[in-house]
Amino acid sequence: MRSWHRRAYLAGTVTSGLILCSPALAAPPCQGLGAPTNTQTKCLTAVQIPGNPLRSFDISFVNLDRGEYYLADRSNSGIDVIDTHSNIFKRRLPGFVGVAIVPGSITPANPHGTVNNNLSGPDGVVAHGQWLYAGDGNSTLKVFDLSAPPLVALKASISTGGTTRVDEMAVTTDGRLLLVANNAEDPPFATLFQANGDDPVNHTAIIQKITVSSTIIPPGHGLSIEQPTWDPITKRFYVSIPAIADNPTGCDIDNGKCSGGMLVIDPLHPTVVVGAFDPATNTGVVKLHECGPNGATVGPHDNLLLGCTPQNRPADDTTLVINAKTKNFANIGNITGSDEVYYNAGDRRYYTGSSRDCGKQAGCPAPAGGAVLGVINAETNLLIEKIPQGQNSHSVAADARNNKIFVPQVAPVSVVGSGGDSTTVGAGICGSTNGCVAVYFHDVDQDRDGDDDHDRRADNR
């Protein structure tokens, strides 16, 4: 069964041939609503992705040590690698299943069919040093050596024992432990891996499968677990759970009436079946208030940003910040509908891939409250600005060393059919009709100078 608790984002298939943007015919990028002139976060350029136009992609990640951005590009069955300094596409890591089509979905009205994201790949992706880890649609974790040529970079493909995709994941600061989520299994589960750290040879291996008590995530309801994040202070993994039973007591789990939870895992003392939160061990499932989250990221002061979304709980209209130690929380108003969320230590801001900021209504059209890049001050937990994005823009990552923010865009409906961008926003950002990875930039020095000028003017009143 399909439930809104699972991050489906159903779309059409990709075309089989190569469709490349001709430099002679391409319009300049960063035009239109996605490139406003009155925001602090500026559209800098757009990186064109070779191969099939972008229709189906998932999570992204920045490797600060290598200055590389990675995108799980299902449209081209690989991980796209972009240089974060030059903003140039470098290579693609192949070996994934690509898009899977829902049987019987190809019709005259939908000639490309419909993508089943639960069987497509790549999906989640993280990296540490020379090692990249990515989930595939056949329930495998793939391990790549980034120092090797792309065609021989794949060093391992490890099954987690499920029948659907390995989705989002997080790695510890030292790169030694990795947690991945099989979000589409029923019931869903996580897998704790021994990872490679900075070792020159791969030895990635499963440590333990982790499930959540059936009293919290009851089977048969299409429930999910989503984005994990690692907190180096408490030394715990924190994982978003879109909905849990009896939160609040007696809520209807099948009709979006239950709030979600936050799964807390101690990787040094993992539990096979995780139950309710235990403050003595700082492990278990924390009940959240009025939030059904997908995304999770660790910010300053040991705070976590959780991306609540009406796709999980239709009443969600805010984003949640919760402290990893105290579990005290605050709601950030006027931003919701996030999938991936990302903390940028370079400017101390959270960035949200909020494809459902307009709510759960059919089509969720942009720009009138549709998909946006959310920008949140991580010190004050206040929304700074929202920048319109192409429809289905749900992935975001940032480079803390140059304060660039990377936001992939799907190609227009006119190029890829159902699942493409039904607005003009994405094409204006990309300067092409093939989709792209938009590059935004936050000039911290300029903002600081502007704040100083404002303070001086206030002093002279």
- Over the stretch 36-53, which tens digit does the pLDDT of each residue have? 999 999 999 999 999 999
pLDDT by residue (tens digit) across 69-81? 999 999 999 999 9
Q: How confident is the model at residue 419 (pLDDT cuts 50, 70, 90)?
A: confident
pLDDT attached to residue 453? 53
pLDDT attached to residue 359? 72
pLDDT at residue 430 tops 80: yes
pLDDT attached to residue 451? 57
Weakest-pLDDT range from 100-104, 165-169, 323-327, 368-372:
368-372
DSSP helix/strand/coil, 100: coil
List beta partners, residue 211.
273
Domain annotation for the chain: domains and CATH numbers: 55-393 (2.130.10.10)
CB within 8 A of 426, min separation 6: which ones? 34, 389, 390, 391, 393, 409, 410, 411, 412, 435, 436
Q: How confident is the model at residue 109 (pLDDT cuts 50, 70, 90)?
A: confident
> Element (H or E) spanning 426, and its range?
helix 425-430
Range among 25-29, 414-418, 438-442 rated most confident:
438-442
DSSP helix/strand/coil, 458: helix
Q: How confident is the model at residue 418 (pLDDT cuts 50, 70, 90)?
A: confident
Q: What are phi and psi of 228, to 5 degrees?
A: -90, 160
pLDDT attached to residue 18? 36
More confident residue, 216 or 101: 216
pLDDT attached to residue 363? 56
DSSP helix/strand/coil, 444: helix
pLDDT at residue 11 tops 50: no
pLDDT attached to residue 4? 39
pLDDT at residue 380 tops 80: yes
pLDDT attached to residue 12? 34
Q: How confident is the model at residue 10 (pLDDT cuts 50, 70, 90)?
A: very low
Q: What is the 8-class DSSP label of residue 390?
A: -
Question: What percent of the chain has pLDDT above 70?
Answer: 89
pLDDT attached to residue 108? 86
Q: Distance from CA of residue 178 to its chain's centroid? A: 17
**Cα–Cα distances in angstroms (integers) from residue 435 to residues 48, 54, 346, 399, 439, in the given order:** 7, 5, 27, 21, 13
Closest CA relative to residue 228, chosen from 311, 276, 172: 172
Q: What is the full DSSP assignment across 214-251?
A: TTTS-TTS------EEEETTTTEEEEEES--TTSSTT-
pLDDT at residue 263 tops 80: yes
Distance CA 265, CA 237 (A): 5
pLDDT by residue (tens digit) across 217-233? 999 999 999 999 999 99
Q: Residues for the chain: how many in total?
A: 461
pLDDT by residue (tens digit) across 111-145? 878 889 999 999 999 999 999 999 999 999 999 99
pLDDT attached to residue 1? 34
pLDDT attached to residue 165? 98
